[in-house]
Chains A and B, each alone.
Chain A
């Protein structure tokens, strides 16, 4: 007899798409298995035993049956209903939508474990739900760190070209961060000192500093993070234009 192709894992529901009459395909970023796609049978019926357990941004304990192209969810229990906790808060909901989409796009291969991305996502959603910091700050911190995990880290305290330590007033998206006067390529954006300080605070998790940042610095930093993200993610993120303007 071969192995029974049933496995257990925990994960965050990234996205759901309808399948046939009453089923859904659920995309989940799991702790151990990486990103998986699985069928949830009958989940769209109001009497489904899955209830709201497989809604986007829900952190669930799962049992799955491994299939050839798609797995099948056989059991799901909620660990944290992050999505439901912010469904009534449009600013936080759209920020979570960008996180989920980015997590999917940064885990390029299915079934390739990515514990760091999983932990970042759970941490990002938990922080968003806690309502202690502005949603856009939480999102930008998540994006900066997930870019680092994906291998596209933004260089903020040394020249992205020559490595000379320093905080410089110019940032080049193609070069990968701030650039010193000698290395500065044509077309490098200028970055204000408060915006650069905010980016550094967000990347390092210095929330006291980030929370104290003035709004113009926040708008500037968000713009730079978005431009940097669009450069590294092909076709960009669909949820990004729907973020609430701050």
Chain B
């Protein structure tokens, strides 16, 4: 244990995701040794991000205005919604330049042991967005792991009766890998998501 404010800093840093006690200590001492101007800039940007950035009232992506840049763009296809877990997934998909619709950010994935059920995600808000019939296709782009699969199938079951087209991002073999290293679950998903090769 360190004295007063140093320990406070270590404790605060230790609350951040992926930061264990050892890393918290290392970052704290890095900050102590750093140039005061650098630390002030970090402190400033931490406060600024909480003051200025909010969540888009339509899709819950991070936004500087009432709505995010994607939702505010009239060229984006209103009939398509891509459902993702976190704002960082929007960034990843935007980088591909493949998708011209809008997003819906759930704010996580179903994880009962982690205490996250459907009511803790923005599922009700998604259902409300689908009510007026503008949206005709929903693309489920939750993570290709158990939590993401559970969330996608829960959404498909809830939204299925509304009659729109529901698709799931193909998940399967990673590019750059060898087939022989694929496990049977991944390989099985790759089979069920196979597509026709154009001749």
Contact = CB atoms under 8 A, between A and B. Distances in A.
A11 interface: no
A101 B146 contact: no
A52 B183 contact: yes
B109 to A, nearest CB: 11
A19 interface: yes
A84 B146 contact: yes
B80 interface: no
Interface string A225-246: 0000000000000110111000
A46 B20 CA distance: 24
A100 B113 contact: yes
A81 B185 contact: yes
B184 A81 contact: yes
Contacts of A90: 150, 153-154, 157
A37 interface: no
A53 B181 CA distance: 11
Nearest to B184: A78
Given A46-B174, A47-B177, A78 B185 contact: yes
Contacts of A156: none
Given A52-B183, A87-B153, A239 B177 contact: no
Contacts of A78: 183-185
Interface string A18-29: 111100000000
Contacts of B112: 93-94, 97-98, 101, 238-239, 242-243
A186 interface: no
B108 to A, nearest CB: 13
A89 interface: yes
A55 interface: yes
A241 B117 contact: yes
Contacts of B114: 238
B153 A89 contact: yes
A74 B177 CA distance: 18
B74 interface: no
Interface residues on chain A, size class: 35 or more
Contacts, number: 83
A94 B146 CA distance: 12
Interface residues on chain B, size class: 20 to 34
B184 A101 contact: no
Nearest to A56: B146
B115 A238 contact: yes
Interface string B156-194: 010000000000000000111100011111101000000
B135 to A, nearest CB: 23
A46 B144 contact: yes
B13 to A, nearest CB: 14
A88 interface: yes
Contact of A20 (B18, B175, B177, B186): B18
Residue in A83, A87, A101 with the greatest tally of chain B CB atoms within 10 Å:
A87
Interface in A44-85: 46-47, 49-53, 55-58, 77-78, 81, 83-84
Nearest to A53: B183
11 contacts: A18-B18, A19-B20, A50-B183, A78-B184, A84-B146, A84-B149, A87-B150, A87-B153, A89-B153, A90-B154, A94-B112
Interface of A: 15, 18-21, 46-47, 49-53, 55-58, 77-78, 81, 83-84, 87-90, 93-94, 97-98, 100-101, 238-239, 241-243
3 cross-chain pairs, A with B, having the tightest CB-CB distances, nearest first: A239-B112, A97-B112, A87-B149
